[in-house]
Amino acid sequence: MIQDKNGNSINTMEEWAEIFVSGNKAKHWKEGRSAYSIADYVINHNGLEKIKTRIEEITAEEISFDKAIPELEIKFDKFRQGRVHDLGIYGDKPSIFIGVESKVDESFGQTISDSYLDAVARSISGENTKKPQRIEALLKKQFRKPEKNVFNLRYQLLYAE
C-alpha cells in the first residue's frame, strides 16, 4: 500500500529513507524532522489506520485506502511546481485524496500577505515570477469573495488542496 512515486513498495523505514538519500532532501531525513516523523508514524505506529479512523469519524463514511506515496507532488495549476505533500493518500469507496503536511520542527511559513507582497516586490524589481498570479488564482478558487483577514492565513495552507 505504501509506495514510492515509481510504484515500488515501501515497508520499512530504510526503504522510505531511500527517497531522501541524495540532494536537498537528505537534510530532512533524521529524527525530530517532519519527513522522518511521518514515516515513523505510518510504519511503526499504525498511522494510516489512525488517519483512516479519523477521516471516517469526520465523514461518517467507511473508507479504504489504496495507496500512500511519500513526497507526492500534485499539480493543481498551470504554474511551474505543484504542491509536494509529505504523504499523499489515495482511497476509494468513496474516492478520496488526503494530502498530509507533517510539521514537527518548522512552521507553516509566511502569511499569504507576506508571500504576496514579497512576490510583487520581486516582480517589480524585474524578477520573472508568476507567484502573485498563482496567489490570486488560489484566493479566487478557495474563497468566493476573499476578505482582508484571509491574507493573515499561511500561504502553505492555501495551496494544500
- In a domain, residue 4? The reply is no
Contact 88, 69 (CB under 8 A): yes
- In a domain, residue 2? The reply is no
Full-model pTM: 0.72
- In a domain, residue 6? The reply is no
Rg (CA), the chain: 18
Instruction: Judge if 93 and 143 occupy the same domain.
Output: no
Cell numbers found for residue 52? 483512516
What is residue 161's predicted lDDT score, i.e. its pLDDT?
42
Q: How many alpha carbons lie under 13 Å from residue 63 in its C-beta half-sphere?
A: 26
Name the DSSP class of 104: S
Instruction: Judge if 80 and 22 occupy the same domain.
Output: yes
Q: What is the mean pLDDT of each run of 10 residues along the chain (161 residues)?
A: 93 92 78 91 96 92 94 77 86 86 80 94 93 88 87 78 42
Instruction: Judge if 58 and 30 occupy the same domain.
Output: yes
**Structural domain of 120:** 112-158
Instruction: Judge if 96 and 116 occupy the same domain.
Output: no
112-124 vs 131-142: helix crossing angle, rounded to 10: 150
Instruction: Judge if 80 and 28 occupy the same domain.
Output: yes
What is residue 145's predicted lDDT score, i.e. its pLDDT?
87
